[in-house]
Amino acid sequence: LWDPVLGEKLAILGRHTSAVRVVTSSQDDRWIVSASTNGDMRIWDAATGDARFPSVQGLGGVRSAALGPRGEWLAVGNTEGRLYLGRTSEWAQSESLGLPHVHTYKDNGEGLKVKALAFDPRGTCLVVGTNCDSDDNVHLWELADRKELRSLAGHPGGVECLRYSPDGKRLA
């Protein structure tokens, strides 16, 4: 971790065993999530740089991760089309990270890449960007029920990134 103004190193986070593809942090500066190409994901305490849990394995090739605006949700997407979604409040009572698999996006039986994830500013909706020949779509999820509300089609070449406007009225 770095102080970008002073150029000083604040902490060194533990190591991954392969290239880190995803890093995200909560807006409340409580958590940092890092994930590597071999599916090794780690949750860090942003204040201390300490690992919150042992390394999380078995998520496949993690391609995207996002923390909700108040740090209350963690969403992870992988190269096999799997979407994982869990509440961070459940971490306090646990020594391991429970991150339920909620959906698999498929194309003719093959998993899609979940390449982009974003939460709306209120923390009530998650958007998922997929990438393959027949499903280059944005999927909107309602978090309370963990259900997909709708799909926004028409993104030739796939969806690589997503961003809500600060007021939540536009999605790019």
Per-residue pLDDT tens over the stretch 68-84: 988 888 898 888 888 88
Give ∠ CA 161-165-168 in degrees, rounded to 5: 110
User: What percentage of residues in the chain have a pLDDT greater than 70?
Assistant: 84
User: What percentage of residues in the chain have a pLDDT greater than 90?
Assistant: 18
Q: What's the pLDDT at 120?
A: 93
Pairing status of strand 110-111 against strand 147-152:
unpaired
Q: What's the pLDDT at 35?
A: 87
Q: What is the pTM of this model?
A: 0.83
CB half-sphere exposure, 56, CA atoms < 13 A: 24
The answer, yes or no, to whether residue 48 has pLDDT greater than 90, is no
Neighbours of 110 (CB within 10 A): 12
Show the beta-strand stretches assigned E in 20-121. 20-25, 31-36, 41-45, 62-67, 73-78, 82-87, 101-104, 106-107, 110-111, 113-119
Q: How confident is the model at residue 100 (pLDDT cuts 50, 70, 90)?
A: low
